[in-house]
């Protein structure tokens, strides 16, 4: 687009004219040598030749800069409503192509618009104010354009305007008024069953429930009557068919009595099953109570194991075994002993731990039953620190098993307790090792180089406790 100097009310400085189109510049740009062009003109030129139109020197689009000063001067010049814009198809003075004059989509002064102002404000005037600019109707579905001054008048009669029905208050586009009458609930119509009554379309469903022309079933249809007739005649049928209807009702009553009898029998069978299940549940609860009582009354064996010269034995890396003691159960008497050993920590040549365990004495196995269950076994080690006595409960087991010696579980039948780290110990950390800082170490469990181990052992054959 280009702007003719004659369109301006102010005198135009020659420095504001495009070197190519010789009109007032639109989006003025300058080359490095100061030559000025419309941006559209120079970019169109550069598509044909990478030279400056003024001096034929080398030129490309990247070397162009916007002339902000010229742009501000042009925007501040006064124009009126008769201004035209021209669009160039190239450079007329160089390529010999003529420009085409195009009226902008706005007022041209012929309709009476007297606006005058600076160029930068003209676009806002045309967009928001000018009464002689063609604008779109704006109603959904309407593509017409009218002068802004005539917009309100057009919308008042536009076929796409929204109107309200006087009969039912529904809203719809005015052009659909005729079509709406075909479905309007406020329009009075003849009964479609031809009873002669006129009803509103919206009340048709209610009328059909009362219309004498509607075909309905006999009130004894649920009992087997298959007669269908118009509502106004069905009462006559029911009066005439009293005897047959009584027979249908009697047959229906008989079928209902049979169904009730069958349901009663099925209910009795279900009640019997529920009672049997209740008896079975009571038996299971009784068995569970007996098992729990046997468990709580299972005799426990308490033993103490004193280990003297502990430090000496530790240096020699020799373990300790107590004398054999016997634990009585309903299945027999089981020989057991306690053991204490010193072990090297896996992967370490310096760190170690003390291990305590409960083991079955395989030399006296005899005909005893295995596996045997640890029904609440407890092993403790006493500790004396600062004159106060503590007890380290290493483990209490309910479900661990001691298996038959020499079976799939190995040559011995043992229950191994937690490890006691050689230099650290934490009553809250099951896997304490030498890298953790704990309150007490193994030396705190020694008094006069003696360690006292106590155990409460309760055993039961596995089959007695599994329920």
pLDDT in tens, the chain (467 residues): 557 777 787 788 888 899 898 888 889 999 988 899 999 999 999 999 899 999 888 988 888 999 999 888 888 888 775 554 333 333 333 333 333 333 334 444 445 677 777 877 777 888 888 888 888 998 988 999 988 888 999 999 999 999 999 888 899 999 989 899 999 999 999 999 888 899 998 889 899 888 988 999 998 888 889 999 998 888 899 888 888 999 888 998 999 999 999 999 999 999 999 999 999 999 888 888 776 666 555 677 888 888 888 777 776 667 778 888 888 887 788 888 888 877 766 665 566 677 777 888 877 766 677 777 776 677 776 655 444 455 554 555 556 677 766 554 434 445 555 566 653 433 333 333 334 434 556 777 778 888 888 888 877 766 543 33
What is the rounded CA–CA span in Å between residue 336 and residue 343?
22
- Whether 57 contacts 98, CB under 8 Å: no
Place of tokens 């008024």: 177
Secondary structure letter of residue 407 according to DSSP? B
Residue 31 is encoded by which pair of tokens?
């080359």
Query: What is the Cβ-side half-sphere exposure of residue 341, based on CA atoms within 13 angstroms?
Result: 11
User: How far does the chain reach from its first CA to its final CA, in angstroms?
Assistant: 98
What is the rounded CA–CA span in Å between residue 447 and residue 187?
110
- Identify whether 427 is preceded by a cis peptide bond (ω within 30 of 0): no
Residue 138 is encoded by which pair of tokens?
């704006």
């Amino acid at each position: 687009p280009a702007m003719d100097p004659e369109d301006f009310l102010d005198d135009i400085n020659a420095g504001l004219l495009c070197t190519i189109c010789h009109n007032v510049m639109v989006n003025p740009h300058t080359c490095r040598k100061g030559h000025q062009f419309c941006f559209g003109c120079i970019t169109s030129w550069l598509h044909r030749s990478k030279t400056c139109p003024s001096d034929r020197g080398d030129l490309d689009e990247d070397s162009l800069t916007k002339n902000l000063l010229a742009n501000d001067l042009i925007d501040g010049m006064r124009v009126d409503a008769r201004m035209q814009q021209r669009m160039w198809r190239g450079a007329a003075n160089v390529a010999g192509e003529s420009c085409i004059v195009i009226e902008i989509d706005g007022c041209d002064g012929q309709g009476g618009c007297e606006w005058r102002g600076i160029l930068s404000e003209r676009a806002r005037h045309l967009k928001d104010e000018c009464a002689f600019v063609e604008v779109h109707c704006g109603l959904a579905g309407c593509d017409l354009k009218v002068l802004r001054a005539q917009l309100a008048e057009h919308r008042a009669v536009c076929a796409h305007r929204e109107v309200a029905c006087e009969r039912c208050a529904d809203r719809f586009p005015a052009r659909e008024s005729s079509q709406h009458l075909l479905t309007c609930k406020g329009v009075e119509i003849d009964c479609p069953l031809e009873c002669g009554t006129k009803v509103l379309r919206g009340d048709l469903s209610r009328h059909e429930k009362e219309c004498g022309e509607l075909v309905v079933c006999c009130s004894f249809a649920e009992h087997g009557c298959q007669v269908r007739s118009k509502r106004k005649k069905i009462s006559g049928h029911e009066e005439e068919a009293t005897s047959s209807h009584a027979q249908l009702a009697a047959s229906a009553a008989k079928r209902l009595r049979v169904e009730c009898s069958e349901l009663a029998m099925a209910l009795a069978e279900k009640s019997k099953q529920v009672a049997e299940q209740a008896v079975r549940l009571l038996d299971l609860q009784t068995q569970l109570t007996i098992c729990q009582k046997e468990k709580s009354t299972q005799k426990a064996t308490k033993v103490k194991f004193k280990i003297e010269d502990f430090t000496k034995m530790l240096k020699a890396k020799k373990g300790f075994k107590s004398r054999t003691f016997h634990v009585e159960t309903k299945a027999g008497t089981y020989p057991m002993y306690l053991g204490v050993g010193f072990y090297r920590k896996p992967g370490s040549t310096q760190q170690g731990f003390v291990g305590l365990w409960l083991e079955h004495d395989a030399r006296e196995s005899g005909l005893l039953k295995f596996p045997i269950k640890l029904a609440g076994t407890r092993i403790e080690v006493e500790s004396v620190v600062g004159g106060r006595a503590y007890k380290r409960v290493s483990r209490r087991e309910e479900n661990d098993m001691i298996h038959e010696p020499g079976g799939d579980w190995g040559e011995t039948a043992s229950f191994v307790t937690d490890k006691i780290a050689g230099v650290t110990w934490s009553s809250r950390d099951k896997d304490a090792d030498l890298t953790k800082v704990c309150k007490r170490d193994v030396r705190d469990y020694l008094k006069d180089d003696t360690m006292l181990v106590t155990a409460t052992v309760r055993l039961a054959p596995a089959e007695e406790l599994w329920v």
